[in-house]
Chains A and B, each alone.
Chain A
């Protein structure tokens, strides 16, 4: 079965540079979520999109932005990178049946960002 696809899997950037992460949800999933997981930490919610509109916002820095496109894939843009941005970034997707979202989130393998 198709899963959530994230790219790139690994990314190394210098401080103050910009990075873009991509996420392709499971086919027919309409909701995308971004999470950040630091070493030894639990995933922290950043932002989510439903039908290309932002649906919720968590602890996402102002330096970060994200959007969901017409094909439901999403991109997380990170600018003015800081050392503390080094983490695993996960994308997850879920589906809505009728007017009810199932609530089951399926995660990708993550993108590991290292800021030097």
Chain B
């Protein structure tokens, strides 16, 4: 079993819909939680960064971390076709520690 589990999808939704992406993990030592967006053949782009539990909002994006359930989520409001990409969750035990990635969810927003 992988340390971080993420449904690979693919996930296809109409433009304007609210998208919910999530990951579960098994390592209770994880403290830093990130969401990356990756377009085809490009590097992962950091979208959201959260330390420990709680919510964080940035524009149309909201990240939630529930350490008690070992569950993290990313919500995208008013989804746009330009949001079509692979979304990777990632987490680490400490500030300079390596990131462990989920498998990535391929998302398509249909106009």
A105 CA to B101 CA in the complex, in Å? 12
Stretch of B12-20, B59-67, B69-77, B92-100 contacting A (4+ beta carbons < 8 Å): B92-100
Contact with B along A64-108 (1 / 0, CB 8 A): 000000000000000000000000101010101000111111111
Interface residues on A, range: 20 to 34
Cα of A33 to Cα of B101 in the assembled complex, Å: 14
Which residues of B25-60 have CB atoms within 8 Å of chain A's CB atoms? Answer: 32, 34, 36, 41-46, 49, 51
CB within 8 A of A56: which of B32, B43, B49, B97? B97
Of the four ranges (under 10, 10 to 19, 20 to 34, 35 or more), the interface on chain B belongs to 20 to 34
Partner of B96, one of A41, A43, A96, A110: A96
Residues of chain A within 8 A of B102, CB atoms compared: 42
Q: Is the CB of A33 within 8 A of B44?
A: no
Q: State the CA gap A44–B90 with chains docked (Å).
A: 11
Q: Point out the residue from A43, A48, A112 that lies within 8 Å of B101, measured CB to CB.
A: A43
Q: Which residues on A are within 8 Å of B, measured CB to CB?
A: 4, 31, 33, 41-45, 48, 50, 55-56, 58, 88, 90, 92, 94, 96, 100-110, 112
